[in-house]
Chains A and B, each alone.
Chain A
């Protein structure tokens, strides 16, 4: 039987990282939970064994149900029937398989029916689901909304909504975007008014581009403060589909991820519950929700990239031209190897980021019960800083790379890849959205640039450097040189005291840092597992020249150059 977990040994490797000990211990309350729940782990090894066993179930369902349904789901897609979104038949089967196996609400605490998984194994599951069907991954991945209710909801709201995920297989949606509020969510207009008589909030207005908009439980961003027009007038609400007060007006026709319904919704006097405090909707709760979603897109991108790579490899090994299989031609084997090398690097960055977020979240959880020790507070702050810049970094790099890998994989397929005969045609289309939603790559760069300007990336690079062993001195010298270039050029850009210039170069600077970080991660991996030795070397060689190119471009760039870019020729629009 095919299994997406067992065919990818990297998962087990990334679960072995020493820092996972700390995550599991914090998450399991030093294994005290096993007294109360007969399915809670007894110790660290037991927990890891459990994660592996559960991920094996996910891998089985991914390989044998979700992946096999992906093509028909892409063709059939969802539709509206009596104001209700009806999923494609395969989507329903996929969701049922995961629900039956108890895989909805994986990271929720046990008392709400969850498995109390840290993010690390949960994100691994998300990667596999995306490899099987990236569109479906959205529907399943929106269980992240439960996390937000758990973090910010009241006790009553948690008791009311959270058990529905694992018990009933409730689906969720994050209802943020509006026709005039896409990247700029401060412009959200959907109106929330408090009905003094009934003591409830009522929502009215239109939302657009809402993934899985007809979900059982929705988190809605709405304007609760009349007369405001910025972020401070926005609050977060829970809308329960059982109230039947939302019209699904339209389903978008899309380039990819066709199995996932993208809805236009009309809220008509829809009753809703306020989450947390008024006015904190965007500035606190959506930011948190968005961060999980970004990590989710990182996982989705890596899953898609892996799917694309495997399709290319399979095709290249079977397809013969000029008397030999095409995998034997330099142009093809270079593409294949580069894909693989990049996936190894991205996966390392993805799970490194996840571990940072995990520690942060685990401490936040501990804080609910007791005051943190000074040392713990420092550590939480440290991982918080890392999470803030690594999350947009992985979202940016993985989504851009998965598009490139899908592009190359289709290229390996030649003309056949352009037809609907092979899965790569779907994967290529599905990949395209990853660098757009949950914040475009350009916006990720704006968030991640803080890692450059505050020196967080450089500090982390230095921390990695101390772990490199002497046998890797050659590759380390290369990484030193890259770090030096990065530091020099970042300094030069920052010194010009222009936020506009920093914005202009942000993607370049962030990607340079990302390349160095991934290089280090692979070198450190290679010290634990031989199979990364070659990958580390190839990756560093590959990105060294990429960074050099960016360095050269920025070196010759002054503030005045910006002006030339602003002078856009509009004549072409006149006719």
Chain B
């Protein structure tokens, strides 16, 4: 099998799993300054899926692509630590405030610039917006097939790739021709850990903007080791239409956000007897809650 060219779409998100008391502003929007950031969990699964293909087919090239503020360069470094070949950062103030439509447009412009790829993978959804829209929108804009909720790549053939999808009601095996976009489900294998030597090699990888802080030691090092320069693409670099990006390109407008507290309207008290438990299991299966 020939080596593949894979693009991993990854996002830096607020760590919503460790939320403090002031995580939300009074107006109901996220107080990003108060939340630490993490690699979006589903995207880590996508990264693993790509690296796994690289293990299976030596020579496979994995490029990690992220869009975000400067701090998001952490995502690229994390990718290097775990084994990607290249990283590209899409960063420009004008991209800020994008909804899914503007985001997918921006990412697609970058992918078009990369041009040569067989497979694009991303997480099923990000834990900040939970939309699960960006992946499918990208596939649509690129006019390529998409396979969502992928759990495992079963077979990689010359002209098609076969994957298992994890759905609410079971699993589905599908095949798709290249190039194809896949979104990866959290039930797929966890991402491998960082590799010691890669951490040592790439810990000083920086974008040009990050380098503006002016550190003579790092500057000298970057001249000597070009692999430490993370490419950074602006609006012009990806030839984007400014009316389709950022806030201006986002038709989604948040009118208001309110906090909903769910209350139980109906509850049942069960004892720990076998018959009660059995009854509950039967009822849950009947309502398709489990099974």
Contact = CB atoms under 8 A, between A and B. Distances in A.
Instruction: Indicate whether A and B interact.
Output: yes
B203 A102 contact: no
B277 interface: no
B203 A101 contact: no
Interface in A27-69: 38-43, 49-50, 53-54, 57, 60-61
Interface string A58-88: 0011000000000000000000000000000
Contacts of B203: 49-50, 53
Contacts of B225: 38
Contacts of A149: none
Contact of A54 (B200, B217, B221): B200
Nearest to A49: B203
A97 B195 CA distance: 10
B201 interface: yes
Contacts of B195: 100-102
B193 A97 contact: yes
Interface string B217-248: 10001000100000000000000000000000
A99 to B, nearest CB: 10
A521 interface: no
Nearest to B83: A100
Nearest to B55: A100
A57 B221 contact: no
Contact of A57 (B199, B201, B217): B199
A3 to B, nearest CB: 11
Nearest to B220: A42
The residue among A53, A103, A115 with the most chain B CB atoms within 10 A of its own CB is A53
B194 interface: yes
A43 B215 CA distance: 14
A489 B225 CA distance: 62
A103 B200 CA distance: 13
Contact of B201 (A38, A61, A100, A103): A38
B56 to A, nearest CB: 15
B221 A101 contact: no
A106 B221 CA distance: 25
Nearest to B217: A42
A57 B225 CA distance: 24
B217 A40 contact: no
A241 B193 CA distance: 29
B193 A57 contact: yes
A493 B197 CA distance: 53
Contact of B197 (A41, A49, A102): A102
14 contacts: A38-B201, A39-B197, A40-B200, A42-B221, A53-B199, A54-B200, A57-B194, A100-B193, A101-B192, A101-B194, A102-B198, A106-B196, A115-B196, A115-B197
Given A38-B225, A57-B193, A103-B196, 15 more contacts: A38-B201, A39-B197, A39-B201, A41-B200, A42-B217, A42-B221, A43-B217, A54-B196, A57-B199, A60-B193, A97-B193, A100-B192, A101-B192, A102-B196, A115-B200
